[in-house]
């Protein structure tokens, strides 16, 4: 196969690639080789990957071809997947983009990884993130920042910036990310791809290195909405080892996805995009999205989320509080780097100081403060009470609509270095995403336009376990517009990189 023929393979969606594999137009080995070559060629520019596992990926591809020939394939057999590096993979280095875990090789797979292996997907590598998923730009990675494939002077977003950038430039057919306060949806918006944060408990957290245990969820990053539906179905489901896992049956998300939006009610919060911090282009994209849905027969209703403006404070108290507990396991004894101090406590202090980056330390200290005696009620308890009110606001809103349409980010992708020295400003950029995590609700982000030439997504928010509805509504927009990744790439000579 010549390099010209390889050209379009990394750009294929899950469905397109699966079709070629099933008709044997291309083999899993050829597809994997094409993606690996794309990574080799383009990733030095974007730095989306921390580890590329060429040898094992090709071995998996050989096995996938065997399954395809035997007629034992699934929807994901033979498809190259990139996995965010806070999801553990047996025998494959998992760093969480932290110096503390620089050489950590897990002895077991996360549940989602087991699911992908059983489906026959091909793991090509582990993607970059903000260290321990703490950040919104991937600049907090302990190793290097990832660059936005649409403009390498800009961030891809975070913390799943590596996964989203990889899918944008063809470094995988799909990817997995994790979302605690927007970490799939925000980079998906910045990179022009589809990102899904499932309902809390929909996807097992077994093997996801915990950041904030009541907020974290793993979700798919894909090139199309239909792909998102396929990928989520493969990783969703009950998990006996995750006590927060939902036992609800996993529906077929792809069935009925072309059902359209006629008669559906889409809620919008008035005044949301009129805040001074919101780029006017974002408001324009929201308005255009609304026009499209109205032309397709959806009806818009106004809803109130009276406590939405407090969601950032609530989140940035609760999240660091849980972080301070979850990061306590990194003591340098059982795994990770180890610094020898004068005594055990000194060793702990030195290990953690050496291993953790500044944002991780900042959040641990903030969380410890919020939980400490004398401050716990004013901060953690208060934030948790406001969380209850935010969840109730959404519950009330869904009495009058089927989904909520909200912006994902107040601006398009910002420049590298622009916000890294201003932690609070970076937190403020999460204003539209954190409320879903606080309330445990699902959200699907999909590309809906451009702002200053950069991709801009919007998000649909659903009731608990309403992913099927969200995919259907998102698909209606994708089908009737030209903002999908493939459509946008058509204006970039077919590829980024």
Neighbours of 147 (CB within 10 A): 21
Q: Burial code of 360-373, b = ≥16 C-beta within 10 A, e = fewer?
A: bebbbebbbbbbee
Rule CB under 8 A: say whether 396 interacts with another protein: no
Min CB(112)–another protein separation in Å: 17
Min CB(479)–another protein separation in Å: 32
DSSP three-state, residue 154: strand
Rule CB under 8 A: say whether 132 interacts with another protein: no
Neighbours of 258 (CB within 10 A): 11
Q: How many residues does the chain have?
A: 497
Q: Burial code of 290-299, b = ≥16 C-beta within 10 A, e = fewer?
A: bebbeebebe
- DSSP conformation class of 232: H
Min CB(326)–another protein separation in Å: 12
Per CB under 8 A, the segment of 78-86, 127-135, 188-196, 344-352 that binds another protein is: 344-352
The single residue among 99, 279, 299, 381 that binds another protein, judged by CB under 8 A, is 381
DSSP three-state, residue 67: helix
CA angle, 14 then 167 then 184, to 5°: 105
Site for another protein in 152-211 (CB under 8 A): 200-201
Q: Between 302 and 309, whose beta carbon lies closer to another protein?
A: 309
Min CB(178)–another protein separation in Å: 17
Neighbours of 15 (CB within 10 A): 17
Rule CB under 8 A: say whether 141 interacts with another protein: no
Site for another protein in 6-65 (CB under 8 A): none
Site for another protein in 464-483 (CB under 8 A): 464
Q: Count residues binding another protein (CB under 8 A).
A: 72
Q: Between 105 and 486, whose beta carbon lies closer to another protein?
A: 105
Min CB(308)–another protein separation in Å: 12
Neighbours of 70 (CB within 10 A): 8
Site for another protein in 84-123 (CB under 8 A): 104-105, 107-108
Q: Between 292 and 391, whose beta carbon lies closer to another protein?
A: 391
DSSP three-state, residue 7: coil
Rule CB under 8 A: say whether 338 interacts with another protein: yes
**Which tokens go with 16?**
């397109």
- Considering the candidates 13, 137, 183, 204, report the single residue annotated as catalytic: 183
Q: Between 291 and 372, whose beta carbon lies closer to another protein?
A: 372
Active-site residue flag, 183: yes
Chain-centre distance for alpha carbon 32 = 22
Q: Between 296 and 337, whose beta carbon lies closer to another protein?
A: 337
**Of the candidates 103, 46, 124, 116, the residue with the CA atom closest to the CA atom of residue 74:** 116
Site for another protein in 210-269 (CB under 8 A): 214, 238, 240-247
Per CB under 8 A, the segment of 10-18, 133-141, 345-353, 449-457 that binds another protein is: 345-353
Per CB under 8 A, the segment of 161-169, 220-228, 375-383, 481-489 that binds another protein is: 375-383
Min CB(165)–another protein separation in Å: 27
Site for another protein in 295-324 (CB under 8 A): 307, 309-310, 312-314, 316-317, 324
Per CB under 8 A, the segment of 37-45, 152-160, 222-230, 382-390 that binds another protein is: 382-390
CB 115 within 8 A of CB 206: no
Min CB(245)–another protein separation in Å: 6
Rule CB under 8 A: say whether 387 interacts with another protein: yes
The single residue among 384, 411, 450, 481 that binds another protein, judged by CB under 8 A, is 384
**Which tokens go with 413?**
């992708």
Active-site residue flag, 384: no
Min CB(203)–another protein separation in Å: 14
- Considering the candidates 13, 159, 189, 324, report the single residue annotated as catalytic: 159
Active-site residue flag, 382: no
Site for another protein in 346-365 (CB under 8 A): 347-350, 352-353, 356, 358, 361-362, 364-365
Rg of the chain over all Cα atoms, to the nearest angstrom: 21
Q: How far is CA 475 from CA 75, 105, 224, 340, 470, in A?
A: 19, 39, 8, 55, 8
Element (H, E) at 36: helix 28-46
Min CB(202)–another protein separation in Å: 10
Site for another protein in 436-465 (CB under 8 A): 438-440, 464
DSSP three-state, residue 210: coil
Q: Burial code of 416-450, b = ≥16 C-beta within 10 A, e = fewer?
A: bebbbeebeebbebbbbbbbbbbbbbbbbbbbbbb
Peptide bond preceding 495: is omega within 30 degrees of 0, i.e. cis? no
Distance CA 217, CA 181 (A): 10
Distance CA 109, CA 122 (A): 14
The single residue among 169, 427, 432, 446 that binds another protein, judged by CB under 8 A, is 427
- Considering the candidates 13, 84, 314, 321, report the single residue annotated as catalytic: 84
**Which tokens go with 229?**
């539906």
Q: Between 114 and 214, whose beta carbon lies closer to another protein?
A: 214
Q: How far is CA 111 from CA 72, 118, 235, 242, 466, in A?
A: 21, 10, 8, 10, 22
Rule CB under 8 A: say whether 382 interacts with another protein: yes
List, by residue number, the catalytic residues.
Answer: 84, 159, 183
């Amino acid at each position: 196969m010549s390099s010209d023929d390889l050209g379009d393979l990394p750009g294929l969606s899950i469905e397109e690639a699966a079709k070629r594999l099933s008709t044997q137009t291309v083999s899993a080995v050829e597809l994997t080789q094409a993606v690996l070559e794309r990574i080799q060629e383009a990733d030095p520019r974007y730095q989306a990957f921390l580890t590329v596992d060429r040898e094992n990926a090709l071995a998996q591809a050989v096995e996938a071809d065997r399954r395809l020939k035997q007629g034992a394939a699934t929807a994901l057999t033979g498809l190259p997947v990139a996995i965010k590096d806070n999801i553990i993979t047996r025998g494959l280095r998992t760093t969480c983009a932290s110096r503390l875990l620089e050489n950590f090789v897990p002895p077991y797979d996360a549940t989602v990884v087991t699911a992908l292996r059983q489906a026959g997907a091909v793991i090509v590598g582990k993607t970059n993130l903000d260290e321990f998923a703490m950040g919104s730009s991937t600049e907090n990675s302990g190793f290097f920042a990832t660059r936005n494939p649409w403009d390498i002077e800009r961030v891809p977003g975070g913390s799943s910036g590596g996964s989203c950038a990889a899918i944008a430039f063809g470094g995988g057919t799909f990817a997995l990310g994790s979302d605690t306060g927007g970490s799939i949806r925000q980079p998906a918006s910045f990179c022009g791809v589809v990102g899904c944060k499932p309902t809390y408990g929909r996807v097992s957290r077994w093997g996801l290195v915990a950041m904030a245990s009541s907020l974290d969820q793993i979700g798919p990053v894909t090139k199309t909405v239909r792909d998102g539906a396929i990928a989520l179905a493969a990783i969703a489901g009950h998990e006996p080892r995750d006590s927060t896992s939902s036992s609800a049956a996993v529906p077929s998300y792809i069935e009925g996805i072309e059902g359209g939006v006629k008669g559906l009610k889409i809620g919008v919060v008035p005044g949301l995009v009129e805040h001074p911090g919101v780029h006017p282009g974002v408001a324009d994209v929201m308005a255009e999205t609304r026009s499209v849905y109205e032309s397709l027969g959806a009806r818009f209703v106004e809803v109130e989320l009276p406590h939405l403006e407090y969601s950032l404070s609530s989140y940035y108290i609760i999240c660091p509080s849980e972080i301070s507990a979850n990061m306590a396991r990194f003591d340098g004894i059982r795994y990770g780097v180890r610094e020898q101090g004068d005594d055990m406590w000194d060793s702990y202090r030195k290990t953690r100081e050496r291993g953790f980056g500044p944002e991780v330390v900042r959040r641990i200290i903030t969380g410890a403060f919020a939980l400490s005696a004398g401050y716990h009620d004013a901060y953690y308890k208060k934030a948790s009470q406001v969380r209850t009110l935010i969840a109730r606001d959404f519950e009330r809103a869904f009495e009058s609509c089927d989904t909520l349409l909200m912006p994902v980010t107040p601006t398009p992708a910002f420049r590298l270095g622009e916000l890294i020295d201003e932690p609070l400003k970076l937190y403020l950029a999460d204003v539209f995403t954190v409320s879903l995590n606080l309330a445990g609700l699902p959200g699907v982000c999909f590309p809906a336009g451009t702002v200053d030439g950069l991709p801009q997504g919007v998000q649909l928010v659903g009731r608990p376990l309403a992913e099927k509805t969200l995919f259907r509504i998102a698909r209606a927009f994708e089908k009737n517009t030209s903002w999908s990744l493939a459509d946008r790439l058509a204006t970039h000579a077919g590829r980024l990189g």
